[in-house]
Structures are given as structure tokens and as C-alpha cells.
Structure 1
Amino acid sequence: MTRVLVVRPDNNGDVLLAGPALRALAADAEHVTLWVGPRGRLGASSLPGVDEVVVRTLPWIDPAPAAVDGDWLEETVAFASGLRADRAFVLSSFHQSPLPTALCLRAAGVPWIGATSEYYPGSLLDLRHRIDDDVHEVERSLDLVAAAGHRLPDGDDGRLRVRPTTRPNPVPAGAPYVVVHPGASVPARAWSPERNRAAVGALEAAGWRVVVTGAPDETDLTRTVAAGARTTLDLGGRCDWEELTVVLRDAAAVVVGNTGPAHLAAAVGTPVVSLYAPTVPAVRWRPWQVPHELLGQQDIGCAGCRAQVCPVAGHPCIGRVVPDDVLAAVTRLTGGVADPVAPAEVPA
């Protein structure tokens, strides 16, 4: 096997979960190309085993899809043809069909294509793999590539990984800290700003420094969550992907919903307090092979709704989680703060 193309055009977190399967392929391939959408570019750039990252949106995956017409299809087929793949694997979640992607790859002349599909693929797939839906996304991808004969090399434990970085930590040196990441790519997966702010207060009162993180478009949210806190550092919009990696790596724990930074924390081995709204099943997307606790009612009647915005008043699946629950989970995962923050360590 020489040139392998892997297509995973999802968000950064989904792309990170493909990492172990990519390493299994890289053990046998001369060159691995990872095709992602623009929402997964940062995650893709940090994965070991990937030689090349290419970016092109696939409208049947992107949550804000553009129109598809003949010109777009012709351009996409030409794009795929230019990647010169000998084999292609289309990685998809249980609710996605890999077949539109496979059609583009077949039209581009890719000689062998494998994917997991419940749908009859006709001649679109050379390997039509099937697996129980209720497995973790990491296992779903690993099982597909294993069906094609590719397994993780000896000594690879299958955990999430990212490339090491030498970037300095923007958090000043001092007492241990906990990261609170209040945002989420899907609003229905986010705990309320008020609860996040109260959790910051509870963590501070217990002696933790707290660092609040968020994307550039979440600065109003992080400012609200950090408001009034004595020792909390608001890094909302102030960290690029590598800096966020370092901040999460050096944290004692991360408090976060089911969103990309939860998987980035797992990739650097940091315990996760997961405020997990079960819009999708936790068995498929919970933090992978890292100490973690799920907070939120997983067996609620509307579990699996896949809602973008919660339609139920009070957001009951995670709305019933209180800040003391977060503090207790952090304490269980870390053993409690060993070196309480001192007033002199309050960031400027």
C-alpha cells in the first residue's frame, strides 16, 4: 500500500477521534493524506501519522452546506483525482452516509474505497464494513481499517495523540489550575453561562486557579463566565490551537461539554469533567481512554435528539447539574488541590 487517502470532513473533535485509525494506516502506507472540511483543519494539522492535510467542504457533512451543482461536482472530482490515492477510506459517524463521498472518489478514479455503511453501496465501495452503532467513534474507525488488514503497531495503545509542541504556556507559572471551557460547537451541548460562572466561583473557593478558554467568537461568553472571579484568567480568543493544546496539557482537569476541546484534553492525557448533554450517545463520543466523569442525565427521555438548540425548557439533561457537582468531580479526578492559590498569584 503506497498512497492512502482518509476522508473525515467534520469538526476538530471528530477529526481527533480518527487519530488512532490514521496511525494504523500510517504503519503500512508510504503516504497518508487526510481530507477534512474547514471546521476540522486545526485538529488535522496536529495528528501524528498524517503526511498531508487537504481541505474541501462536503455539503452532505457540513452543518451550513452550500448548494451542489454540476460545476461543484466537477471541481470536487478533479480535486479528488489530484490526490492520486491508491486506496481511500471514508470515515463517517452512525448518522452519516459515506456514499456521496465514495461516488466522488469513484468518479475521480480511486481504485479501492472502503467505508462503514448500512446502506447498499453497489459498486461504490470495495469494502462495505458494518459494525454495531453503539461503539465509540475511535473503535468505529479502527474496526474499519482493521477489516482492510491495518492495525495499530506494537506498542501503540490506541489513545488519542497530537504532535508535541514547544510553544510556551500562556498561563503564568504558579499553583495548579483547572480549565473551564464553556462553549460548544452545538448550543444544545453547552451548560449555561450562569452555571459555568458559578462553577468558577466554587473552584476558586476550593483553592484552584481557574483558566477560562474559548474561541475568538466566544469572548463575550468567556468574559461573562470569568466575571467577578478573583484568580481566574480569561483566555477567550487569546489562544491559537497549539497554545490551547499546551493550556489543556498542563491543567489538572478540564471542565467542558461534548465538544472539540474535550477530545483535545484526552489527546494530551488531562482528566475531563464532561458536562455531557446526551444529544448523541455518550458511548460513542465520551472522552476516550482518559480519566473522566460524565455529568448530566444520560437516560433522559429525549436522549439522542441530535438537537442543535435544546427545545425543552430548562435544558434538563445538564441544566440540573449544579456547580458543586463539578467541584466534586474535579476533586475525585485530581485528589483535590495540593497547593492552594495565593493572592500574589492573581493574574494582572
Structure 2
Amino acid sequence: MTRRVLVVRLDGTGDVLLAGPAVRAVAAAPDTEVSLLCGPAGEAAGRLLPGVRHVLGWASPWVVAPAPPVTRAGVDDVVAMLAGHAFDEAVVLTSFHQSPLPTALVLRLAGVPRITGASVDHAGTLLDVRLRPGAGPGDDLPEDLPEPERALAIAAAAGYLLPFDDDGRLAVHPPPPVTALLGPVADEPYVVLHPGATVAARQWPVEHHRAAAALLERDGIPVVVTGSRDERALTATVAGGRSVDLGGRTDLAHLAGVLAGASAVVAGNTGAAHLAAAVGTPVVSLFSPVVPALKWRPYKVAQVLLGDQDAPCRDTRARDCPVPGHPCLRGVPPEEVVAALRRLTAARPEPGPELVQKGLP
């Protein structure tokens, strides 16, 4: 009999992609069918993950921003939806600052008989398998783990391990052809600039992006600028009439194809960086330290990480930069990004992180 397991990651694109190795661990179990429950912004990423049979979306009031109101009708709807799938088990994946307990309560109301999660708080009967995050006596989940490894640890506590032939890297299904989108640069060694981010605190200034594109084009390196439909004005500004502007012209699957064909990608700590890692393309990561790089930097892919990781905004999880002038990223000049690109594209190195912090050797 097929066992129906629900993997929960109530977030958007980047976090769902980072959950991919844990999803594969669950899906590798014999006679197991995996469904993924994620936030609306993560559904497209969920459909790209190997091992996922069904993707369910839910705007959870304790994860999605801006948060929708909590209503009896809304809770009843999601409980009924989950109950209709008759899941045998749920594995709730969370970051260090999230609690699985509200989600576990909803899952219990939906009749899920076995639930695993990581909680610093007493879980009572909400969790059948509980990991205790921290570094103290009795704690069994270290907090200094990259997000994919934290998710794998939660899956392992539920009894799900990656097969020996799975290297644990991020992965997506093979992307569709993108030659028509790329036009004349399809057969050239192009670089992708992805200037947007879901929150302003993680964006490198638009004028820096535009200057970097101009420097690359001047040196004969084709540039492709990517972004969502809402970012078309931003991508047009960066492209400056010289570069290929794909703003609003790719869904997530086609964006994966564009990134897969690139020599390297420049992106902030946002979903595009994780998508690049999932297709094995080196990343120049303009990483704002509002969240820890240890946890959310591009995973197991060749990279250069730029930005002052000791800036005053460190670990604030701020959506808008709390420091005047946005110095952690504004202080990274376009020339430094171009130099990092040259290092990455000179010889596609074996995947492995290289950390370059502004102001340090």
C-alpha cells in the first residue's frame, strides 16, 4: 500500500528549493508518495522538485508576509483540504526562527496521525517526533547548519534518508528549451544579472547592476537580465538597451533554463541564487547579512560571496535596510562583481564555496 507523506515548507521559492534534498529523502522510501505544502509563492518551485507528486498551496498566517487574517473559515478550509488527502504522515520543515507547532495543530485537526518537526518549545501531543534545536544538554539539532542540512536532519528524524547515490545538492527537473528567449546570445557564454529580490534589504543598488552590465558588455561578454513581471522597469534599467532583457518573460521553469545555460549568475540572497545552484551554475552572491550566510548562501555550488557580513544589519531579518545608505551592499562596487565573475568563469571550478567579505582579504 502506498504511504502518503506530506512535506511542509510554508515559504516561497528559495526556501522551497532548499528543501529539495529533504523532499528527495522522503520520496526515496519504498511505496511512498510525497505531497508538498508550501506558501503560494513557493508553488512553482515545488513543481520543479524531483520527488514531489502533488503541490498544495496555503497562505499561512504565521509565515506569509504580509500575513492574512486568521479566521475560523480559513482554518476550516485548510483542515478540510488536508483531511481530504488522508495523509499518513507529515514532516514539517522550518527555519531556526519558525515554530512547527501552529502547523502541527492544523495537521492534527486534519487527522494526520504522525508528525515530525523541530521545536524549542514543549510540543505536547502536537509532534510525535520532536527535535530540540540548540547547543545545550539534550538538544539534538545544531543551529549552525545550512538550511538544506537542517531540513535533511528533520527528515532523518522521521526515518527518511537520502540514498547513497544522492549527493544532497539542490536539484530541479530538466528545464525546457530557452533558445528562442535568448536569441542571438543562446550559443554564446553569457552572464545573467538578476537584480531583483523579494525584499529591498537584499538588493544591490540598481545603478551598480547597470554599471556592471555596461562593463561586461564593453568587454564583449553578453549579459542577460532576468526578473519577474513586476520587475520589468528594473530589468529594463539594468539592461540599458544593450543587454538581453528577459524581465517578465520567464516563468520559473524557463528561468531555470536561462540560468542553466549561463557561465555564471549575479544575484542577491533570493530565489534565483538557489535556482542557479540547483542547475549547477556558479553564483556571485551579493549577500545582505540580514540573514546568516551560513544558512542561506547558495548551497554546494561554486560561488563568490560579496557584502559586509558584519554590517550593523546582521541577523535582523529586516525587509528594508535599517542602516542609512544600505552600506553592506552599496559598498560593493561593480568592478568587484565583474572581477568575481571573471574568477568563476575562467575555469568552471568544482562546486565549493569561496567566501569574500567586503573589507577582508
Q: What TM-score results when the alignment is normalised by the length of structure 2?
A: 0.90
Q: Which runs of 5+ in 1 are unaligned?
A: 338-348
**CA contact 2:202–2:269 (8 Å) conserved in 1:** yes
**Residues 21-100 of structure 1: matches in 2 within 5 Å?**
21-28=22-29, 29-100=31-102
1:41 CA drift (Å): 0.7
Match of 1:224 in 2: 237
How big is each residue's C-alpha offset from its partner over 1:202-252, in whole Å with a ceiling of 9 and x where there is no partner?
Answer: 2122321000000000001011111153xx101101112221111000000
Match of 1:251 in 2: 262
Number of equivalenced pairs: 335
1:149 CA drift (Å): 2.0
How big is each residue's C-alpha offset from its partner over 1:138-167, in whole Å with a ceiling of 9 and x where there is no partner?
Answer: 000001111222111121000101011333
Q: Which runs of 5+ in 2 are unaligned?
A: 133-140, 349-361
Match of 1:200 in 2: 213
* Letter paired with 1:319: R
CA distance in 1 between counterparts of 2:335 and 2:175 reads: 34
CA distance in 2 between counterparts of 1:56 and 1:125 reads: 20
CA distance in 2 between counterparts of 1:68 and 1:162 reads: 33
Where 1:171 maps in the other structure, the secondary structure is helix
**CA contact 1:330–1:336 (8 Å) conserved in 2:** no
Match of 1:183 in 2: 196
Distance 1:289 1:98, change over 3 A: same
Q: What TM-score results when the alignment is normalised by the length of structure 1?
A: 0.94
How big is each residue's C-alpha offset from its partner over 1:315-340, in whole Å with a ceiling of 9 and x where there is no partner?
Answer: 01111000011011101111189xxx
Match of 1:341 in 2: none
* Letter paired with 1:97: S
Match of 1:155 in 2: 165
**Residues 169-318 of structure 1: matches in 2 within 5 Å?**
169=179, 170-172=181-183, 173-229=186-242, 232-318=243-329
**Residues 302-341 of structure 1: matches in 2 within 5 Å?**
302-335=313-346
CA distance in 1 between counterparts of 2:230 and 2:301 reads: 28
How big is each residue's C-alpha offset from its partner over 1:274-295, in whole Å with a ceiling of 9 and x where there is no partner?
Answer: 0000110000000000000100
Q: Does 1:167 align with 2:177?
A: yes
RMSD: 1.4
Match of 1:120 in 2: 122
Q: Whose relative contact order is higher, 1 or 2, with alpha carbons under 8 Å and at least 6 apart? A: 1
CA distance in 1 between counterparts of 2:260 and 2:325 reads: 33
CA distance in 1 between counterparts of 2:187 and 2:178 reads: 14
CA distance in 1 between counterparts of 2:268 and 2:127 reads: 35
Match of 2:113 in 1: 111
- Over 2 Å off, 4+ runs: 165-169, 172-175
